[in-house]
Amino acid sequence: MLAKRIIPCLDIKNGRTVKGINFVDLRDAGDPVELGKLYSQQGADELVFLDITATINKRKTLSDLVKKIAKEINIPFTVGGGIRSVEDANILLQSGADKISINSAAVKKPNLINELAKNFGSQFVVVAIDAKLIDGEWKVHLNGGRIPTNLNLLEWARECEDRGAGEILFTSMNNDGTKKGFENNMLSKMSDQLSIPIIASGGAGAMEDFYDVFTDGKADAGLAASIFHFKEIEILDLKKYLKTKGITVRI
């Protein structure tokens, strides 16, 4: 069995790590380079860095930050935010990123997924999907959750896989920052319908939440932010707990 992955996520705004609740009310959580280095040392399997203002401000993700991060860590890391072309992705790859994450740009230009997979390979392409349960249906949202669309979550996830995405990073906007657990019901449905790995995001608050997301939610990886940033849960302690519960993890 493939080991389940624990992935800290660093949302970047103006060069600093921030964290909010339900995508708003952001507060400072530290220097992204230092946090990335710390998580690498603590046993994180991967890292995700998302420049959450890149799309809003119509600017590119800063490649120099990626270079600084690459120098300090020895685990794979994914970078997202403001990537709208093969050229944008190539800059990040050349700067040291192992994968890139696209979100709004993929919805606006779905063929971008095909182009990135063709140029770099599917393993390089993560499609992040922010979705919210509205009137009984999961709807995809853009621009850091600010713009709702009519896209159905499962239909869009299947299309992303068909176009060459190597992984789906699904964030439940309803659960984000609430620390009440992941959206395991939808994650399980997604896992049953897709063959590519699914990274679960939004709602982690306790070690039990990770056990539940790997069993009930059938996720391949659990991603979290504030519980790691503010030292509510240590990564090594979490992995030891999961191992005692029969979950395959790397320690």
Residue-wise pLDDT tens digits, 123-142: 999 999 999 999 999 999 99
Indicate the residue type of 98. Answer: D
Question: How confident is residue 34, by pLDDT bands cut at 50, 70 and 90?
Answer: confident
Query: Is 48 in a helix, a strand, or coil?
Result: strand
pLDDT higher than threshold 60 for residue 211 = yes
Domain ranges of the chain: 5-244
Helix (H, G, I), strand (E, B) or coil at 10: strand
Sign of the Cα torsion 248, 250, 229, 16 reads negative
CA dihedral sign of residues 22, 24, 27, 31:
positive
β-bridge pairing 137-142 and 147-152: antiparallel
Which residues are CB-contacts of 231 (< 8 A; sequence separation ≥ 6)? Answer: none
At 247, list the tokens: 């979950």
Q: Which helix (H) or strand (E) holds 32?
A: helix 32-42
Digit-coded pLDDT (tens) for 214-231: 999 999 999 998 899 888
Considering only 47-61, 182-196, 211-225, which range has the smallest mean pLDDT?
47-61
Whether the pLDDT of residue 28 is over 70: the answer is no
**Residue 123 DSSP one-character state:** G
Q: Is the pLDDT at 208 greater than 90, yes or no? A: yes
Mean per-residue pLDDT over the chain, rounded: 90
Which position has the token pair 């959450």?
A: 52
For residue 35, pLDDT beyond 80 = yes
Give the integer Cα–Cα distance in Å for 161 and 166: 7
Q: What is the pLDDT of residue 62?
A: 63
**Active site (catalytic) residues:** 11, 130
Which CATH number fits the domain 5-244, given the four candidates 3.20.20.70, 3.40.1190.10, 3.40.228.10, 3.30.420.40? 3.20.20.70
**Residue 64 burial (C-beta neighbours within 10 Å; 0-12, 13-18, 19+):** exposed
